[in-house]
A = this chain, B = another copy of it.
């Protein structure tokens, strides 16, 4: 269970990384890793469980939680909250992508990713200023996306029009 922190180099290396750590690559873990690595969206434990169960109906929800915990500890996945839009569950994504922030629209729930340089600058400064060794850095931004801003503006306009009509 004590899995040391190592950053994986690529998609396929996740399994190798685990093997090197002496973690057993069971059928269940392979299924879960495959789903995590190929998922286009950010999965929470429940959705991951549902997808996994489709491949192996016997796979238990508890195994999902235990696997996620291990992967998180081993630094193979990141844990996100996505601003708790949609509940208090956690979301997971494999760490193959470069570091990025998550931008969550709190109206439609859409999630965008931001890779800009302020993230690296922030890392550097925190390490310098505090003599800190960073293991995880997580930035989440909540607000309204361009589309929803437009829709909201229209709603406000419509409401105003109604108000005028009523007056």
Contact = CB atoms under 8 A, between A and B. Distances in A.
**Copy count, this protein chain:** 2
Nearest to A84: B79
Interface residues of A, number: 38
Nearest to A142: B136
A136 B103 contact: no
B119 A122 contact: yes
A103 B121 contact: no
Given A114-B129, A122-B116, A138 B135 contact: no
Interface in A100-146: 101, 103, 105-106, 112, 114, 116, 118-119, 121-123, 125-126, 129-146
B125 A116 contact: yes
Contacts of A112: 130, 132
Interface of A: 79, 81, 83-84, 88, 101, 103, 105-106, 112, 114, 116, 118-119, 121-123, 125-126, 129-146, 149
B141 A134 contact: yes
A126 B103 contact: yes
Given A114-B126, A119-B122, 19 more contacts: A81-B81, A83-B138, A101-B122, A114-B122, A114-B125, A118-B119, A118-B122, A121-B121, A122-B122, A122-B139, A130-B146, A132-B145, A132-B146, A133-B143, A133-B144, A133-B149, A134-B141, A135-B142, A137-B139
